Each structure stands twice: as structure tokens, then as C-alpha cells.
Chain A
Amino acid sequence: MVRIALITLAMVFVALFIFIPVIAVFAEALSKGIGAYFAAIADPEARAAIRLTLMTAAIAVPLNVTFGIAASWAIARFDFPGKQTLLTLIDIPFSVSPVISGMLFVLLLGVRAPLGGFLAAHGIRVIFAEPGIVLATLFVTFPLAARELIPIMQAVGSEEEEAAIVLGAGGWQMFFRVTIPNIKWGLLYGLVLCNARAMGEFGAVSVVSGHIRGHTNTMPLYVEILYNDFQFAAAFAVSSLLTMLAIATLIAKRFLERRVVPVKQAPDELAVKVAA
């Protein structure tokens, strides 16, 4: 009885707050017909926003994954002064509101700031331009891969890497033949999370973007503009793309999670049977 009640409650909750809104997004997106839907997506400004979002993710994800591998490897393998500080610093983007992250870059790199002024004088615009968007995205996605990889690196340990070196492998051979295969599912998972956040980030990007249509609008920013212009169908059409991306990400995450399970050692009896 309790079981049925709880399951029903959970189901109703999920339907109310997740399933129905998602359906609503697609329903609203298609409310003016399939033609209008594709027209909204094919709009040059929409395409520019999609392009910018994809480009941002294409830069931010590899950089952060590279950083994540380097940081997690250093943290798991070595003791060095400042290790705890590094661990804390990695978490800062998680604990700071994205809007403040954006403000931080404006303060640092805006035309009125010394560094920003210097760059502007040399013809490099950061704030209200693509570089600012990429930087802000990098900042907010910074911890995702590293956080995912640190515990895995620690759990895997360094023995296999040492074994590889003793067997004559060079540093890169060890890295690609032993280290990466051991963390690959965690790595993919971190990649998926990082990508989702990079494409969906609103707050930080909003502050540094300047909302220049066709130039510095990412998909989430573009959705807001359309919405504020009362172009609901178009706003939801672009939203539906982001939603599909989110769903694909979640499916990928779900699929990967099942594989990130730590490698269990088979019990001896089983192996003995195999041997026999």
C-alpha cells in the first residue's frame, strides 16, 4: 500500500514537473506547424547562435578535459605543496553564481579594465565578443571533468602505470595504453557533462555576451531574446533543440554510468571452475 502510494507520488511528480513541460516545449515549438518550426531554426540569427554554441563547446570541452586529466593525474599521483589549495580552487566555479563568474571577466577584461584596455588597443575584443563567451564557458565548466576523474584516478592507483614503465613503456605509451583505458568511462562521462554545461550555460555567458544578434548570441541567449520578443513558437523551436541535446546527453550519461562501476575481482571459486 505504502509502496503503491510512493510510486504513484513519484510518478505524478515526474509527470508534472518533467514530462509535461518537456512535451509542452515540443508542443509549443510545433504550434505553428512544422514549416514554422524549421523556418525558426533556419533563421540566420538562429543559425549563428547554433554555430556559436557549437564552437564554444568545441573549444571548451577539449580544453577542460585536457585540464581535467592533467589535474586529476597530478592530484592522484603526487604529493605536492598546494595540493589542497588546488582541490579547493577547482571547486570555485561550482560554488560561485554564474552571473558573478561573468562579472568577473567583465571586470578583468572589459575595455575600462587595464588588461582589457590593453587588449582592445591591440584590436582584441574579449568582452561582448566570442572570446569572452568562450572564456566564461571555460570557467563554469572548469571543474566538471576534473571532479569526475580525480576519484577514478585515485581508485585505479599507480601500480599498473609503474608496471608499464618497468616493462619498458615510455611516458606516452604508458599514458595511452594504460592510464587512459583505465579511466575511459569516467572520461567520457566527464566529457558528456562538460558538453551539456558548455552548451546550456546562460548566466555567465549572458553577462559577457552583450547579446549582439547574429554575433554574440548563443542558443540559450537567443531563446531568451525570442521569448522577450513574444516569438514564442520560435523560442520554443530553438529550445527544443537544446532539450533534445539534453535528453541525448542524459541517455549517454545513463549508458556510461553503468560502465563506470569499479572493476570487481572475480571470486576465486569462479576462477577455479574456469580453470578446471
Chain B
Amino acid sequence: MSIELRNISKKFGDFVAVDTINLHIETGELVALLGLSGSGKTTLLRIIAGLETPDTGEVLFHGEDASDVSVRERKVGFVFQHYALFRHMTVFENVAFGLRVVPRRARPAEAVIARRVHELLKLVQLDFLSDRYPSQLSGGQRQRVALARTLAVEPKVLLLDEPFGALDAKVRQELRRWLRRLHDEIKITSVFVTHDQEEALELANRIIVMNQGRIEQIGSAEEVYHHPANAFVYNFLGNVNLFHGRIENGRVFLGDTAVELENTHAHAHPETGKAVLYVRPHLLEIVLKPNGKQTFPATVKSINPAGPQVKIELVAEWGDMVQVEIDHERYQALHLEPGANVFLRPKEQKLFVYSI
């Protein structure tokens, strides 16, 4: 089932949680709502589910206005951030709940319910835990029970609020892959909310980057990561160094040093103004000798060689902290020590300019 949002706004008191959102989600898509806490992503998800009523705008399911359709009739599956498992019921009863509350005329027979529940528990690989209580399960197991419980009512849309937020890193990775496979299998239109960019990039067909109740960018992982629409998106997706400088007659100054930059992805900008240069840590090169106007001086502060890349922290001449990631080979060749004076050369950068 496709979902369409038209001009959705929602305020809580004076706080604008969601600000005129327009959005179309295709049938079978797996979409991520990505943003910081307070960006309105959870509110938007709750509005889709019908748990919150928007102040303005409408939600359409399959092209039909769902404004007057109550939560229980919307046929949405909602997985809560903390799972909201019924603590007084066993895993089996939790999963069976949605089938048991069906009006008596349409309610499946007990044997049918039992079969369906066990099918679902097998799907989430938890059949052996069916008579345990939620408090006896680990976080990852609870998450999967919550998912099975939601799938029991055969929702047309699956909404997940921070599905992996409360889990530790290892379990999160595993469940992510598992959810991806599940979605490939059952092809249900799914929307999940996350503040974790990696999660969004890895899992979603499309990512909706939200900030302060608005959509900053919609696109595939490739698009939002490599072609960010604005400074916020670039900053939000992945580590980045910010250099505050200025642009004068088309020349970029960082501190007092004029730098000539190749490979600059600059947006249409005025010739003169305040400039912010964004460079990802792995796109900065450390060299020992200056190279004309393409390098600027910096001093090594600290070195962290643990991990696949060596992380080096430096201070630029004009005082900004700079993070650089280089590979181990290069690091060996450079013989870096804290305190060493070196030069930095951006290999690729983004320039966002604001008129003053």
C-alpha cells in the first residue's frame, strides 16, 4: 500500500514538531526517516499510524484519505521504540493478541491462531521461547517478538520507531541484516525512524533527512551521501570537518591563507560572503611540504592508530580542530608524532557560502 502525506503540520503548544510535510512512499518501499531527536520524525511516524492527529494536511493510504479512519482500522503495524510488549502476557499471547481482539464473527479459531502464532515465531526464530514473559527476554529477542506481534495482523504498512535504538552494536548489526532480508521476503511498505545515519544508509531504499520538522532531502543512500542538498545533510551524514572562512571575489580564504581548491562542489553562491568548507576526514591528505595554495599548515595533536584507518587530530593554523583519516601505509611513511608541523591538502570538498 502506498502512503502519501499532503501538507502535514503538527504543533505541540508552541513547538512546531512537523512543518508542512509532503511525501510519497511507494508500495513495497523501505524508507528511513533520518534526523536528530526533536526533528519531528517520530511525530511524523505517529501521524501516519493515526496515533497523532495532524493540525493540518492529510494522510492518504493507497490514494484514499485516511483522516477519518481510526487507528484500529488503518491496518498499520507499529513497532514501538521500547517494543511495548504486554508484560503480563507470554510471548505466545503477545503475538496472538491482534488475532484475539478481532470481533467474534471474524475471529479465527483457536487452532488457527495457534498455528499462525507459531508460524510467525518461527519466522522470527523464537518459537522455542513462546511461553516466556517479555521480562525474561533479551533486547533483541523482544524486538523480534514485537515484530512478530505486529505482523500477526497482516498490516499493509509497517512503521518502526527507532527499531534498533535500544540494542547493543553487535545485535543491532545482525537485526538490521535480518530486517532487510525480511523486507525482501514479504515486500511490505515500511517506514522506519532512526537517528543513526549508518542504519539509514545501509537499510533503506530511500532516505528522508529531517531537521526541525522539515524535510531537508529525499534520496537514495548514494544521493544523500554523495550529493547532499545542503550543509545540514552533509554535516549530518558522516563525520565532517568544518572550516569557517570567507570568500572574496571568488577566492576562498581560511584564516589569512588563500586556498585554491580543486574538486570543489560549490553550490551557486555569491562571489563574496561567509564560506563554510566541509571536508570529510578521509578526503584530507597530510603532506610534509607545502604545495602552493592548495595546502594549509596544521599541527598534529593526537594520533589513534586503532582501527582500519589511523585517526589523526590536528589544529589548523587559525585554531580550528581538524580530523583526518589516513591508511596505515601512509601513516608509516609519514613518521608522524604529536607536535609535528605538517600541511593538509583537501582532495575533495564541499563549499557552502552564505552571503553576509
Contact = CB atoms under 8 A, between A and B. Distances in A.
Contacts of B293: none
A70 interface: no
B123 interface: no
Nearest to B74: A166
A168 B135 contact: no
A169 B153 CA distance: 11
Nearest to A158: B84
Contact of A167 (B98, B135, B137): B98
12 contacts: A159-B80, A160-B85, A163-B149, A165-B72, A166-B71, A166-B78, A166-B150, A167-B98, A167-B152, A181-B88, A266-B137, A274-B129
Interface string B315-341: 000000000000000000000000000
A149 to B, nearest CB: 16
B138 interface: yes
Contacts of B97: 164, 167, 169, 177
Nearest to B81: A159
Contacts of B84: 159-160, 162-163
Contacts of A271: 136-138, 141
Interface string B68-83: 0001100011101010
A50 B86 CA distance: 42
B335 to A, nearest CB: 44
B149 to A, nearest CB: 7
Chain A interface residue number, banded: 20 to 34
Contacts of A272: 138
Interface of B: 49, 51, 71-72, 76-78, 80, 82, 84-88, 97-98, 101-102, 129, 132, 135-139, 141, 149-150, 152-153, 168
Contacts of B152: 167
Given A159-B82, A162-B84, A177-B97, 19 more contacts: A160-B86, A160-B87, A162-B78, A162-B80, A163-B80, A163-B85, A164-B101, A165-B71, A166-B51, A166-B76, A167-B152, A168-B72, A169-B97, A263-B135, A264-B135, A266-B135, A266-B136, A270-B136, A274-B129
A107 to B, nearest CB: 42
Contact of B98 (A168, A264, A268): A168
A177 to B, nearest CB: 7
A178 interface: yes
B138 A167 contact: no
A263 B87 contact: yes
Interface of A is mostly: helix
B101 A173 contact: yes
Interface string A248-276: 00000000000000011110101110110
A182 interface: yes
A81 interface: no
A82 interface: no
A167 B159 CA distance: 12
Interface in A163-188: 163-170, 173, 177-178, 181-182
By Cβ-Cβ distance, the 10 closest A-B pairs, closest first, are: A271-B138, A159-B84, A167-B98, A163-B84, A169-B101, A181-B88, A268-B138, A166-B78, A168-B72, A173-B101
A162 B51 CA distance: 8
Interface string A68-104: 0000000000000000000000000000000000000
A172 to B, nearest CB: 10
A168 B101 contact: yes
A133 B137 CA distance: 51
Contacts of A160: 84-87
Interface in A122-177: 159-160, 162-170, 173, 177
Nearest to A162: B51
B72 A275 contact: no
A180 to B, nearest CB: 10
B101 A170 contact: yes
B39 to A, nearest CB: 21
A83 to B, nearest CB: 15
A73 B60 CA distance: 32
A274 B132 contact: yes
Contact of A275 (B71, B101, B138): B138
A119 to B, nearest CB: 44
A166 B136 contact: no
A9 to B, nearest CB: 40
B146 to A, nearest CB: 8
A264 B76 CA distance: 30
Contacts of A166: 49, 51, 71-72, 76-78, 150
Contacts of B82: 159
A162 B135 CA distance: 19
